[in-house]
Amino acid sequence: MITTADMEAWLQRAADVLEENKGYLTELDAAIGDADHGVNIARGFAAVVQKLAAQPGQPLGPMFKSAGMTLMSTVGGASGMLYGNFFLKAANVAGDRQALTPAELLAVLEAGRDGIVQRGRAEPGDKTMIDAWTPAVDALKEALAAGQPLPAALCATAAAAEAGMRATIPMQARKGRASYLGERSIGHQDPGATSTYLILRALADALADEDAKQA
Partner 1 sequence: MKKLINAVDAVVREQMEGMALAHPDLLRVSLEPKYIVRADAPVAGKVAVVSGGGSGHEPLHGGFVGYGMLDGACPGEIFTSPTPDQIFACGMEVNGGAGVLLIVKNYTGDVLSFETAAELLHGEGVAVRTVLVDDDVAVKDSLYTAGRRGVGGTVIVEKIAGAAVEAGYSLAQAAELAQRVSVNCRSMGMALTSCTTPSAGKPTFDLGEHEIEIGIGIHGEPGQRRIPIIDADAITTLLAEEILNDGPYTRTVRSFDPMTGDWAEVSLTSEPFRAGDRVIAFVNSMGGTPVSELYTVYRRLAMICKERNIVIVRNLIGAYITSLEMQGCSITLTRVDDEMVRLWDAPVKTPALRWGI
For residue 3, what are the β-bridge partners?
99
Cα 115 to its chain centre, rounded Å, is 12
Beta-carbon contacts of residue 56 (< 8 Å; ≥ 6 apart): none
Rank residues 13 and 43 by Cβ distance to partner 1 and give the closer one.
43
Q: Is 190 in the site for ligand ADP (CB under 6 A)?
A: yes
- Per CB under 8 A, the list member of 102, 112, 115, 120 interacting with partner 1 is 120
Query: Which alpha helices (DSSP H) does the chain contain, by range?
Result: 4-20, 22-32, 37-54, 60-74, 77-94, 102-120, 130-145, 150-167, 191-214
Distance CA 62, CA 30 (A): 35
Q: Which of residues 40-59 bind ligand ADP (CB under 6 A)?
A: 40
Cα dihedral sign for 1, 137, 109, 200? positive
Tell me the closest approach of the beta carbon of residue 163 to ligand ADP, in angstroms.
16
Q: Which of residues 139-178 bind ligand ADP (CB under 6 A)?
A: 175-177
Q: Is 26 in the site for partner 1 (CB under 8 A)?
A: yes
- Per CB under 8 A, the list member of 4, 21, 66, 74 interacting with partner 1 is 74
Rank residues 49 and 78 by Cβ distance to ligand ADP and give the closer one.
78
- Per CB under 5 A, the list member of 17, 26, 32, 33 interacting with Mg ion is 33
Residues near partner 1, by CB under 8 A: 26, 30, 33-36, 39-40, 72-82, 119-120, 172, 174-177, 179-182, 184
